[in-house]
Amino acid sequence: MPAGAHLSLRNVTKRFPGSARPAVDRVRMEADERAFLALLGPSGCGKTTLLRLIAGFESPDSGSIALGGRTVAGDGVWLPPERRGVGMVFQDFALFPHLTVSGNVRFGLGRHPEARWREAHVLELVGMTGLEHRYPHELSGGQQQRVALARALAPQPQVILMDEPLSNLDVQMRLRLRQELRTILKSEGVTGVLVTHDQEEALSLADWVAVMHDGRIEQMGRPEEVHEAPATRFVAAFVTQANFVDRAAAPRGLLPADAEGEVMIRREDLVLTADPGGPATVVDRQFLGRDYCYRVESPGLVLFARTPAACVLEPGMRVRPSVHPSRIRTFDQAPAETVAQI
Amino acid sequence: MRVPLAWQAGPYGRGSCAAALYLASTLSLAALSVPLLYLVLRAAGIGPLALVEVVASAQGLRVLANSLLLAAGVALVSLLIALPMAILTARTDLPWRRFWTILGVLPLAVPSYVGSFAIIAAFAPRGSYLQVLLEPFGVEELPSIIGWPGAIAGIALFTYPYLLLTLRSGLFGINPATEEAARSLGLRRRDTILRVLLPQLRPALAAGMLLVALYSLRDLGTPALMRVDTFTRVIYLQYTLSFDRNRAAALAIMLAVTVMILLWVESRTRTRAAYWSRRGTARPQPVLRLGAWKWPSVLFCAAVASLTLALPIGVSLLWFTRGVRTGALGPLHWARTLEVTVNSLSLSGLTALAVVLFALPVAILAARAPGKLTASVERFAYVAFGLPGIVVALALVFASAQFLPVLYQTQVLLLFACFVLFFPQGLGAIRATLLQLNPQLEESAASLGYGPWRTFGSVTLPLAAPGLVTGALLVFLTAMKELPATLLLAPTGYDTLATRVWKATEDVYFAEAAVYSLAIVVVCAGLILAVIRRGGAAIPVDDVPQ
């Protein structure tokens, strides 16, 4: 473990009573100071439990968690959440309904000598200046989320944890806050951990992305790395939404002769050429602004392709799908234990 | 590796705060188990043979039959009142719906012994208002109201609101789309009531009728005034007149078991009802146009209100003014009334305070860290809810006489009985409030550096306060009406409004009874209106589902 890691988890395991497999399974993870880390995974993969373990709302069965070089859980130590200096932003905001915006933001400041200044600062940061006297029910969803963020930032926590902070907002608000969130965290210089099931959100926001599956971290890396070089089939499927084609089902000409087993072809790597004698048919077309997403079918196979807007094909047309051999990837078969459980 | 401390109960699972919560819960559990444990001990002491002898005796069987008959009669009459009222106030264009709903709930302010006294005063065979009114037409004597008709009316008229409330929330829980579907399949609006609405309402009907039946099994005032030999009346007479304590205890055990069986059936139907009904839909409920039935419907509601509210209040007022006019009520009575009112208010107030103080810790643990301890407190509370006041009182009389004679006939023991009797009601209200509180609010406080006590003081308490006040008001209301436990446990010379009404009607001092009755009804009506004003699920009178 690098000595400089600001947040470090060592073999953290958490099993809830009555469930067969652990919710969090031997997770190792590090984040540097001021880094922004996204925990990405489908619902039920254990990412929220991992977040709650860091915050101190759950205690690990084994393994240890350290914040700023100090062990907060494990090795016989357990620090309650109020003494960890960890900010938390909840999915449904959890603003105190009996307090105003100002009361909520000041809640964690106590007798901080510069409480007034700090409050004004974080409210300005999130763009809520002037609404100090509103109550949470008088705010829109986006405004409530801003206050929740300001409240968590106010006491200058070592780490700020965010549990799907944008998922309760409508699409436009989500896109706008996504941009701001990164700017705000960077300007405050706080280490951030974001839990999300939205790959686009994770890849665009974070410095580091950790992909979780069944309680384990399958891959952790820079967003580009995870996207370009997925370590496992699960990461590839979840993060890139690529096509997986079995050799046996592939139409002629798609795969090189030496390909074996199952191969991965990214949507953007699939080339469609109009060909009346082609092996596949265009079934559906979606216009996505700058490009098209085509759904193409051949017997026993469905493929998705993202093509530049210049490539116009009509549903019903016969096409010949192809891919450059260098863009094809294969993954090892899933580990035996996973197969056994399925 | 062992984790030394854990975040088990949210913010309240550790430290001195947890210790306080667990201590309060343990004390509540101990308190609730006293009457039950004593009954079991007593049953063992009497012995199975003697117990069977009492149960299977002619008297035992007759009392059981009477009690069940009364319960069934009350449930049926309540249904005849509550079902039309529920549909009229929830689903039709009845004029002044909210007004009629509140009037439909207000009879809860009239204790059954007050209502029964009014019924006797109004309809007694000779000398009653009705007889005096009919005398010019040659009516010398009316058919006796004393007995079954009086007993059933005396309870049903003042407990039907429980059924009304259950039915109304049942109606609001029904998805309006089912009725729209029926209409699109060709049913007329009125037919949808019979073929779609009522079948879906069946679980609420069953649960509500069982609840009313339970209340009638627990009631002492009305059967005693109407001279129907139910469990409560016979136990009371055995205890006060014959001093055959084993017989009284055996009958009390028999009553407790009967009530528990009913309670078990009720809980089964209630969970099924919850399973059947969907949570409130945002869409407005379809409104049935009454048309020509509009004014007959208003007349029906008015008739119910006049029997359940105007009658007891009017009769009390008449006796009161007559008492003042004839000098039967004088300065001595005013002083006495004041003293007794203060007794009632302080006993009810202390009960409410004690219940809230102990129910809050149990509710916090039950909502945030459900475990074995809270589960047993809740189970005991549920059973204690079924224990009629007379059974609890009797158990405490015997137990204190046997083990703690110092407490016998003290206000402390009386307060303890009220605590045991009304704890379940307070716990239910407070627990419901806490379950609606998002636990993430407490987690937020923790992540902002707040320890358990500070989190409690700055987040949980302020947010739960409205629910606590409503719970306290409900306990206060029921404690004001309490009769049997006070009768058996009150120290000599100590009276509450309820026991004064009872004694005055026994001695046929109707003018005096009227004063105390009016005091109870005024206080209780004020409490009910206060609870309604506070809104929420305690006494819901508005159309919007919770």
User: Rounded to 10 degrees, what is the CA torsion of B154, B156, B158, B163?
Assistant: 170
Residue type, B92: T
Of A73, A94, A110, the CB nearest to B444: A94
* % of chain B surpassing 70 pLDDT: 93
Q: Is B372 on the interface with A (CB under 8 A)?
A: no
The reply to whether residue A82 touches residue B450, judged by beta carbons under 8 angstroms, is yes
Least confident of A72-76, A252-256, B332-336: A252-256
pLDDT at A259: 67
Secondary structure (3-state) at A159: strand
Nearest CA to B516 out of B476, B491, B480 is that of B480
Q: Is A92 on the interface with B (CB under 8 A)?
A: yes
The answer to whether residue B394 sits within a structural domain is yes
Q: What is the pLDDT of residues A300-317, one digit of tens each?
A: 889 999 888 787 888 889
Q: Which two tokens stand for residue A36?
A: 């922004």
CATH code at position B404: 1.10.3720.10
What is the rounded distance in angstroms from the CA atom of residue B150 to the CA atom of residue B147? 6
The answer for B 434-453 residues in CB contact with A (under 8 A) is 438, 440-441, 443-451
The reply to whether residue B448 touches residue A151, judged by beta carbons under 8 angstroms, is yes
The answer to whether residue B403 sits within a structural domain is yes
Instruction: Decide: residue B58, CB within 10 A, 0-12 exposed, 13-18 middle, 19+ buried.
Output: exposed
Specify the higher pLDDT residue, B146 or A337.
B146
The reply to whether residue A151 touches residue B450, judged by beta carbons under 8 angstroms, is no
The answer to whether residue B546 sits within a structural domain is no
Secondary structure (3-state) at B6: coil
Q: Which residue of A has its CA nearest to B5?
A: A78
The reply to whether residue A82 touches residue B458, judged by beta carbons under 8 angstroms, is no
Of A60, A76, A98, the CB nearest to B4: A76
Domain count, chain B: 1
Name every chain B residue with its beta carbon within 8 A of the beta carbon of A73: 3
Mutate to test the interface with A, among B8, B441, B447 (most CBs of A within 10 A): B447
Name every chain A residue with its beta carbon within 8 A of the beta carbon of B458: 107
Of A61, A74, A107, the CB nearest to B448: A107
Q: Is B16 on the interface with A (CB under 8 A)?
A: no
Q: What is the pLDDT of residues B444-486, one digit of tens each?
A: 999 998 988 899 999 999 999 988 998 899 899 999 999 999 9
Name every chain A residue with its beta carbon within 8 A of the beta carbon of B440: 90, 92, 94
Q: Is B3 on the interface with A (CB under 8 A)?
A: yes
Mutate to test the interface with B, among A10, A11, A54, A57 (most CBs of B within 10 A): A57
What is the rounded distance in angstroms from the CA atom of residue A110 to the CA atom of residue A227? 44
Q: What ipTM does this complex have?
A: 0.73
Spatial contact of B24 and B430, defined as CB atoms under 8 Å apart: no
Q: Which residues pair with B176 in a beta bridge?
A: none
Spatial contact of A275 and A212, defined as CB atoms under 8 Å apart: no
Q: What is the pLDDT of residues B58-86, one digit of tens each?
A: 888 999 999 999 999 999 999 999 999 99
Q: Is A60 on the interface with B (CB under 8 A)?
A: yes
Q: How confident is the model at residue A4 (pLDDT cuts 50, 70, 90)?
A: low
Q: How confident is the model at residue B8 (pLDDT cuts 50, 70, 90)?
A: low
Q: How many CA atoms lie within 13 A of B202 on its CB side?
A: 7
Residue that is written with structure tokens 């405050």 in the block? A188
Q: Which residues pair with A73 in a beta bridge?
A: A65, A78
Q: Which two tokens stand for residue B26?
A: 């343990």
Nearest CA to A36 out of A165, A142, A167 is that of A165
pLDDT at A9: 95
pLDDT at B107: 95
The reply to whether residue B443 touches residue A108, judged by beta carbons under 8 angstroms, is no
What is the rounded distance in angstroms from the CA atom of residue B274 to the CA atom of residue B290? 30
Least confident of B77-91, B273-287, B405-419: B273-287
Q: Is B490 on the interface with A (CB under 8 A)?
A: no
Q: For residue B322, what are the contacts with CB-CB under 8 A and spacing of at least 6?
A: B328, B511
Of A82, A90, A94, the CB nearest to B449: A82
Name every chain B residue with its beta carbon within 8 A of the beta carbon of A108: 447-450
Q: In what order do the strands lie in the sheet with A7-14?
A: A24-31, A7-14, A62-67, A70-74, A77-78
Mutate to test the interface with B, among A78, A82, A160 (most CBs of B within 10 A): A82
**How many angstroms from the chain centroid is the CA of residue B237?**
23
pLDDT (average), residues A92-121: 89
Asked whether residue A209 carries a pLDDT value surpassing 60, the answer given is yes
Secondary structure (3-state) at A332: coil
The reply to whether residue A87 touches residue B447, judged by beta carbons under 8 angstroms, is yes
pLDDT (average), residues A16-29: 90
Q: Is A319 on the interface with B (CB under 8 A)?
A: no
Q: Which residue of B has its CA nearest to A63?
A: B1
Pairing outcome for strands A216-221 and A77-78: unpaired
Element (H, E) at A29: strand A24-31
Asked whether residue B271 carries a pLDDT value surpassing 70, the answer given is no
Asked whether residue A184 carries a pLDDT value surpassing 90, the answer given is yes
The reply to whether residue A80 touches residue B443, judged by beta carbons under 8 angstroms, is no
Name every chain B residue with its beta carbon within 8 A of the beta carbon of A57: 7, 10, 443, 446
Of A60, A61, A81, the CB nearest to B446: A81
CA distance A116 to chain B (A): 17
Q: Which two tokens stand for residue B41?
A: 């001990």
- Distance (Å) of CA B21 to CA A56, B353, B372: 21, 17, 14
Asked whether residue B240 carries a pLDDT value surpassing 50, the answer given is yes
What is the rounded distance in angstroms from the CA atom of residue B427 to the CA atom of residue A75? 40
The reply to whether residue B444 touches residue A90, judged by beta carbons under 8 angstroms, is yes
Spatial contact of A196 and A39, defined as CB atoms under 8 Å apart: yes
pLDDT at B546: 36
| Greatest CA separation for chain B | 94
The torsion angles phi and psi of A283, rounded to 5 degrees, stand at: -100, -40
Q: What is the DSSP string of B157-178?
A: HHHHHHHHHHHHHHHHHS-HHH
Please state the length of chain A: 342
The reply to whether residue B449 touches residue A108, judged by beta carbons under 8 angstroms, is yes
- Distance (Å) of CA A29 to CA A7, A13, A63, A228: 8, 12, 12, 21
* Beta-carbon count within 10 A of B545 CB: 19
Q: Which residue of B has its CA nearest to A95?
A: B441
Spatial contact of B93 and B287, defined as CB atoms under 8 Å apart: yes
Domain that holds residue B392: 7-275+289-533
Pairing outcome for strands A208-213 and A262-265: unpaired
The reply to whether residue A92 touches residue B438, judged by beta carbons under 8 angstroms, is yes
The answer to whether residue B491 sits within a structural domain is yes
Q: What is the pLDDT of residues B359-414, one digit of tens each?
A: 999 888 888 877 788 888 887 787 777 788 888 998 898 888 888 888 888 899 99
Residue that is written with structure tokens 């952790």 in the block? A220
Instruction: Decide: residue B207, CB within 10 A, 0-12 exposed, 13-18 middle, 19+ buried.
Output: buried
Q: What is the pLDDT of residues B96-140, one digit of tens each?
A: 989 999 999 999 999 999 999 888 888 877 767 777 788 788 777
Q: Is A290 on the interface with B (CB under 8 A)?
A: no
Q: Is A59 on the interface with B (CB under 8 A)?
A: yes
Q: Which residue of B has its CA nearest to A13?
A: B1
The answer to whether residue B2 sits within a structural domain is no
Spatial contact of B251 and B41, defined as CB atoms under 8 Å apart: no
The answer to whether residue B376 sits within a structural domain is yes
Q: What is the pTM of this model?
A: 0.79
Pairing outcome for strands A329-330 and A280-287: unpaired
Q: Which residue of A has its CA nearest to B438?
A: A94
The reply to whether residue B451 touches residue A76, judged by beta carbons under 8 angstroms, is no
Of B2, B14, B440, the CB nearest to A94: B440
CA distance A16 to chain B (A): 12
Element (H, E) at A193: strand A191-196
The answer for A 128-167 residues in CB contact with B (under 8 A) is 151-152, 155, 157
CA distance A83 to chain B (A): 6
Q: List Cβ<8 Å contacts ≥24 apart for A258-262.
A: A259/A328, A259/A330, A260/A330, A261/A330, A261/A333, A262/A233, A262/A330, A262/A331
CB pairs under 8 A between A and B: 91
The answer to whether residue B543 sits within a structural domain is no
The reply to whether residue B1 touches residue A74, judged by beta carbons under 8 angstroms, is yes
Of A61, A75, A108, the CB nearest to B448: A108
Residue type, B159: T
Q: What is the DSSP string of B12-29?
A: GSSHHHHHHHHHHHHHHH
pLDDT at B91: 85
